[in-house]
Amino acid sequence: MVRAGLSAAKVTEAAAEMADEVGLDQVTISALARRFGVKDASLYSHVKNLRELRVRIALLGGEEMTERIAAEVAGRAGRDALVAFANAYRRFALEHPGRYAATQMRFDPEEVADSVALRRSIELTYGMLRAYGLTEPDLTDAGRLLRAAFHGYIHLELSGGFAHPREVEDSWSRSLDALHVLLENWPSH
Amino acid sequence: MVRAGLSAAKVTEAAAEMADEVGLDQVTISALARRFGVKDASLYSHVKNLRELRVRIALLGGEEMTERIAAEVAGRAGRDALVAFANAYRRFALEHPGRYAATQMRFDPEEVADSVALRRSIELTYGMLRAYGLTEPDLTDAGRLLRAAFHGYIHLELSGGFAHPREVEDSWSRSLDALHVLLENWPSH
DNA sequence: CACCGTTCCTAGACTCTCTAGGTAGAACCC
DNA sequence: GGGTTCTACCTAGAGAGTCTAGGAACGGTG
């Protein structure tokens, strides 16, 4: 008997790759087992169930994503930081749609409680916004709007919601200009 | 034998209701059949398959949503129209999360080709933006950003992404203020 | 070498989608 | 009222997926 030599980490990595290729909801225990040349039941030694597998994809994706964003934003402020953040965010989501989709799942608080990436990504956003001179509660409001705009844009783009011929690239960078202007003129009170 | 008296419309309506109650991905043919006290196979007389059922939910939801938005926006312009549009959009999504989720599916062009609601919702957005004095291509760019912001906000809210204690209601209306300012100062060229 | 934990297996229960072909109610028409 | 036809609903079953229980073989450790 030749063993595949699996582990929780290997299974998660392969699942993430599969999610990027065929979509998160096409990642099934049995399809993954097939990919490893192994029986379904074997995977349950490494992963509790399908739900947990997807959460693992999300945690992996979240880490990779914030790492890339952090690297791009490092040393920048204001418009430069905003553009770097946004482009790193979007590029990751487009290159890794499955991982990205996983990060958008609904989690129980305890599932992501010990996720460093989550906390770090919030810090990154707030740091960026503070450079615009914002303070609470504007910080929270602007942060939410920014996250919503980024996520909404990518979601619509990935789901084919932009049918109009105008290039999404152009639209995107013009939207970033607009958001920059918005943050500079955030209406306080 | 007592008949349930089903039809495609009744099945769709019940499926939409079910989606709002338990989530779109919990709407299965068998669960729906159970709800009607009927065997799974019986539903296939009314609906081609699960995919088509979900598309029907989306089309139904889309119609209801644009109808409500149109009613709220009618006769308003500028900030009033923006706020009315946004609030109607959000309220519908929060009251009908299943229907709303269905409208965010990825569709083949032909599936939604004859959807009046889709075209009307685009017209509504563009009408609103023209009142801000925008012209192409700013119209498209601003429209995309607006849709992204609305959708992103609701998606994050529905998926529990706003953990911070600050009231979402307040954040939301402040974000609408901000978007209003943004549209008034949209950076052309 | 014998022990032990881990990896992988078989077997099977349960759920879901969807097809093929059959039965029984309702509506029409003479 | 009896026959025809449409269609709502049925049984039966194939196929795919999740997941559990319990067993076998491999790898490393004493």
A29 touches strand D (CB under 7 A): yes
A76 touches strand C (CB under 7 A): no
pLDDT of residue A126: 94
Kindly list the residues from chain A whose CB atom is less than 8 angstroms away from the CB atom of residue B181: 182, 185, 187
Looking up residue B156, the CATH number of its domain turns out to be 1.10.357.10
Nucleotide nearest to A36 (CA to C1'): C8
Interval B133-156 mean pLDDT: 95
Residue B144, domain member (yes or no):
yes
A48 CA from C1 C1′ (Å): 35
d(CA A166, CA B141): 9
pLDDT of residue A60: 96
B30 touches strand C (CB under 7 A): yes
Residue B71, domain member (yes or no):
yes
d(CA A99, CA A59): 9
Residue A55, domain member (yes or no):
yes
* Residue-number span of the structural domain to which A155 is assigned: 8-184
| pLDDT at B3 exceeding the cut of 90 | no
A41 touches strand D (CB under 7 A): yes
pLDDT of residue B62: 96
| pLDDT at A165 exceeding the cut of 70 | no
Question: pLDDT confidence of B165, banded at 50, 70, 90?
Answer: low
Kindly list the residues from chain B whose CB atom is less than 8 angstroms away from the CB atom of residue A159: 104-106
pLDDT of residue B2: 63
Question: Which of B60, B149, B161 shows the shortest CA–CA distance to B101?
Answer: B60
A181 touches strand C (CB under 7 A): no
Pick from B145, B161, B177: which is nearest to A149 by CB?
Answer: B145
Question: pLDDT confidence of A113, banded at 50, 70, 90?
Answer: confident
Q: Which residue has the higher pLDDT, B162 or B130?
A: B130
Residue B50, domain member (yes or no):
no
pLDDT of residue A142: 96
d(CA A75, CA A87): 16
Residue B90, domain member (yes or no):
yes
pLDDT of residue A178: 97
pLDDT of residue A115: 85
Pinpoint the alpha helices (H) of chain A: 8-22, 29-36, 40-43, 50-73, 78-95, 97-103, 116-130, 138-158, 168-184
Domains: count for chain A: 1
Question: pLDDT confidence of A108, banded at 50, 70, 90?
Answer: confident
The percent of residues above 90 in pLDDT, for chain A, comes to 83
Residue B166, domain member (yes or no):
yes
pLDDT of residue B33: 96
d(CA B4, CA B95): 28
Mean pLDDT over each residue of chain A, to the nearest integer: 93
Question: pLDDT confidence of B161, banded at 50, 70, 90?
Answer: confident
Residues on chain B bordering chain A, Cβ-to-Cβ distance under 8 angstroms = 104-107, 109, 137-138, 140-142, 144-145, 147-153, 155-156, 159-164, 166, 170-171, 174-175, 177-179, 181-182, 185-187
pLDDT of residue B99: 98
Which of residues 2-21 of B have CB within 7 Å of strand D?
3-7
* Three-state helix/strand/coil letters over chain B: CCCCCCCHHHHHHHHHHHHHHHCHHHCCHHHHHHHHCCCHHHHCCCCCCHHHHHHHHHHHHHHHHHHHHHHHHCCCCHHHHHHHHHHHHHHHHHHCHHHHHHHCCCCCHHHHCCCHHHHHHHHHHHHHHHCCCCCCCHHHHHHHHHHHHHHHHHHHHHCCCCCCCCCHHHHHHHHHHHHHHHHHCCCCC
Question: Which of B20, B44, B176 shows the shortest CA–CA distance to B98?
Answer: B20
ω before A165 within 30° of 0 (cis)? no
Question: pLDDT confidence of A2, banded at 50, 70, 90?
Answer: low
Question: pLDDT confidence of B79, banded at 50, 70, 90?
Answer: very high
Interval B56-74 mean pLDDT: 96
**C-alpha A20, offset from chain centre:** 12
| pLDDT at B26 exceeding the cut of 80 | yes
The pLDDT tens digits for A49-86 are 999 999 999 999 999 999 999 999 999 999 999 999 99
| pLDDT at B1 exceeding the cut of 60 | no
Residue A2, domain member (yes or no):
no
Residue B21, domain member (yes or no):
no
Kindly list the residues from chain A whose CB atom is less than 8 angstroms away from the CB atom of residue B155: 104, 148, 151-152, 155
**Residue to substitute from A89, A138, A144, A155, interface B, most B β-carbons within 10 A:** A144
A52-61, B93-102, B103-112, B119-128: least confidently modelled range:
B103-112
The dihedral built from the CA positions of residue A31, A35, A36 and A39, taken in this order, carries a sign that is positive
pLDDT of residue A25: 95
